[in-house]
Chain A
């Protein structure tokens, strides 16, 4: 039970990152590797607000969202928008995203060194004991906040005018354009929302797994694996795959080896690609 609970909390964060990736991929058609950089920037923003300014953890989380969101908007305006108009947008977008990721990581490393930092959180030291399951408040909080954000994203996509425009673009870009939905504006909103949530993910991870320049890489790869497993389109599939991966890693870390736990996601991917070369949940369509 203990292991299962840990896995679910971890899986919820994977699901959050996967939802961001899926939203951005759906609108921009770019697998946004640089999201890993924005998770990390969120972690750093949170760290400086909480540690250097001594403000409360929740303010740090908001600052993380704002910093990552800003970086996301800049990325879209300065890089992605231009690459979409090149002759081979798929290839260019891909490499452009890699460029952004490495550039973000290196800039942060040059500015703040590669030292590991701990984002202070009042919830990290509190341990909850519920029906024999022991867990830090921070871990529980991270899982819950992740799930709430995913739910909020879906509420936005279903319930608001802007969200419906975005869903239309996800379904059929050309069609949405024809009925007057601006693709540039939609892309900007998607990047803003996705990046803000990625920043929050960074601030949630900071107290548990420390803050350092490449902190986003592992979780980014897992988020990508999750959306690949889900066939790049299905958000429900992505969330299930994320929870499954979190649980699998948690069990692997307890019963097999902690060091190899980052490799389990890859094994997951290998098996899935062998069984279903085009993803596990390819039938369903994103955000219904």
Chain B
């Protein structure tokens, strides 16, 4: 092996493992696409039999569909059994248009992609608002119904007996030309997948998969993003549909069955979900082995479903993920750990101006003393329990407002109401002159409400910098911002403010609780809020770190930000807050300056109990 090709391989493999670690492919992962496509393109020179080339073509076509599936499986965590049905919808569209209505092949193929995309949009439109198992059950039902409809609508689809003599694309009627056509489409899909995982959409998908509540609080429109991803996924599968029809030349409703949908899942999981090479490797492996040993389809499914079980238990990341992990381990042993990638962080202007007030759509510069947030008679009941009862409060720009109360007083619920995570409340709330009632979580984040969570919610598998980049999603220029580089020195400023610069490239799950708290604050700041909701940010902080965060909050206040602070550390509250609200059992029992509060008999009794109690 020449030195040159060895170097390429090593770099490709480390690119692969980098992609595994952060699930964000580095630039070097480009190098994976090139050999894959090159090897595929050269294979027909080695393996020339008509039958063998046919099998390889099928592998490429299934791989296209597998990439479509992995977009939702690997990047959204949605298990879809419907993708074989989507493929069949695309195939049938082509078949019906060409054989029954005499439409030209390419127009019919285009229509196939269109109809598949629409079907995907429809399925997603119905299911994406709901969570958890609803989607997978719906996908199961979608597959079953597609079979029923195609079987029953005999006048159009010829029912269970299927349709014969499906045309091949004009100019691509030989086995070998169909192979290269499929390879061209697959290459385009590979490039698209690569770009997509590095795009804002890809980053938002990772955030959603990790934590939907967090994603929404960062201003990401969760439902719309999922809808977009699923539609793109259906479109990719739609590309495979017409190719599949031409390849197989005889189609029946059974290609939409749950079993076929399950087979697609098997390819992706065995190959390696959420890796760039995984889906192709999975298809090639499963279909290749099946052909080599002449299994029937039943044996194929039986054997490989058993292997899927083993992959789930022992080889997370499938073949590609496991190989990449092993390779990087070997590489580390031989060369020692790779030097940490130097962050491309230019030295920013330092904490002189956090440009959170600059965008004109945020209502112009801060005016200290202006009421930014106002709530009247907020009430939230859970069944018979009233968690928040008739609470009114107001916050002016350039103020730190404290919210205190014993455990279970309703503080976190109150924050939930304001940020939009908790619905079904009564009363009124307005922010910067806008009524909050009808605004979803992400819309409130976009208006300028940022928050942290009492129990940290972060993207645990990603680095500090990646967390911040995702959080700054709202304020990246709309286009041409695919890189994870901090833009316009803004993230720099946040790294400095929170003191996390040295940790910028460390994975969040490896940080101390204290550092994770600061990442949470940094992410909330990256939303560029006008109002910041902090849920016990000082809890768990070392004494030596407390003054640092206090200084940060004071500095933010001086910039005109409103800070609502839930906190138990009285000393911190006393020195930071200009106004304190006291909650007990959901009721507002006192408010006023910190001095008034600590001397209020009702507050003392709420915390310490009365003498007679």
Which residues of chain B are within 8 angstroms of A90 by Cβ–Cβ distance? 132
Q: Which residues of B contact A88 (CB under 8 A)?
A: 77
Q: Do the beta carbons of B148 and A91 come within 8 Å of each other?
A: no
Cα distance A162–B406 in the bound complex, in angstroms: 38
Contacts of B258 in A (CB 8 A): 217
Q: Are B131 and A263 in contact (CB under 8 A)?
A: no
9-residue interface stretch from A63-71, A122-130, A163-171, A220-228: A220-228
Q: Closest approach, in angstroms, between the C-beta of A71 and any C-beta of chain B?
A: 16
Residues of B contacting A263 in the complex (Cβ-Cβ under 8 angstroms): 145, 148-149
B301 at the interface (CB under 8 A from A): yes
The interface-forming segment of B308-316, B397-405, B546-554 is B308-316
CA separation between A277 and B179, bound complex, in Å?
Answer: 43
A276 to chain B, nearest CB (A): 9
Indicate whether A95 sits within 8 Å of B298 (C-beta atoms), given known contacts A87-B316, A228-B134. no
Tell me the smallest distance from the CB of A256 to a CB of chain B, in Å: 11
Least Cβ–Cβ distance between A275 and chain B, in angstroms:
11
Is B81 at the interface (CB under 8 A from chain A)? yes
Query: Are the C-beta atoms of B265 and A221 separated by less than 8 Å?
Result: no
Determine which residue in A88, A102, A265 has the highest number of CB atoms from chain B within 10 A of its CB, and name it: A102
Set A105, A110, A221, A232: member contacting B133, Cβ < 8 A: A232
Evaluate contact between A278 and B298: CB separation under 8 angstroms.
Answer: no
- The segment out of B30-38, B122-130, B184-192, B236-244 that lies at the interface is B122-130
Q: Is A274 an interface residue (CB 8 A)?
A: yes
Pick from B140, B305, B306: contact of A221, CB below 8 A: B140
Contact flag A103-B305 (CB < 8 Å), given A94-B79, A221-B140, A263-B145:
yes
A262 contacts B by Cβ under 8 Å: yes
CB–CB A92/B144 < 8 A = no
Interface residue tally for chain A (C-beta within 8 Å): 44
Size of B's binding interface in residues, CB under 8 A? 39
Query: Is B306 in contact with A99, judged by CB distance below 8 angstroms?
Result: yes
Question: Which residues of A are found within 8 Å of B144, using beta-carbon distances?
Answer: 217-218, 221, 262, 266
Residue of A nearest to B129 (CB): A277
Q: A228-B133, A228-B137 are in contact. Are A110 and B298 (CB under 8 A)?
A: yes
Closest to B296 in A: A110
Whether A277 pairs with B130 at a CB distance below 8 angstroms is: yes
Contact B301–A102 (Cβ < 8 Å) = yes
Per-position 1/0 for A188-215, Cβ under 8 A of B: 0000000000000000000000000000
**In whole angstroms, what is the CA distance A265 to B265 when docked?**
25
Tell me if A269 and B262 are in contact (CB < 8 A): no
Given A98-B265, A103-B302, A259-B148, A278-B130 contact (CB < 8 Å): yes
Judge whether A98 and B141 touch: CB under 8 Å.
no
Cross-chain contact B312 with A269 (CB below 8 angstroms): no
Instruction: State in angstroms the CA–CA spacing of A96 and B310 once bound together.
Output: 10
Pairwise interchain contact A109-B298, C-beta atoms closer than 8 A? yes
Bound state CA distance, A259 and B81, in angstroms? 23
Pairs A-B, 7 closest by C-beta atoms? A277-B129, A259-B152, A277-B130, A266-B145, A99-B305, A106-B302, A266-B141
New A-B pairs, 8, CB < 8 Å, besides A31-B136, A82-B313: A83-B313, A88-B77, A95-B269, A99-B305, A107-B302, A228-B133, A228-B137, A266-B142
User: A-contacting residues of B (Cβ < 8 Å)?
Assistant: 77, 79, 81, 126-127, 129-134, 136-138, 140-142, 144-145, 148-149, 151-152, 258-259, 262, 265, 269, 298-299, 301-302, 305-306, 308-309, 312-313, 316
A residues near B (Cβ < 8 Å) are 31, 33, 79, 82-83, 86-88, 90-92, 94-96, 98-99, 102-103, 105-107, 109-110, 217-218, 221, 224-225, 228, 232, 257, 259-260, 262-263, 265-266, 269-270, 273-274, 277-279
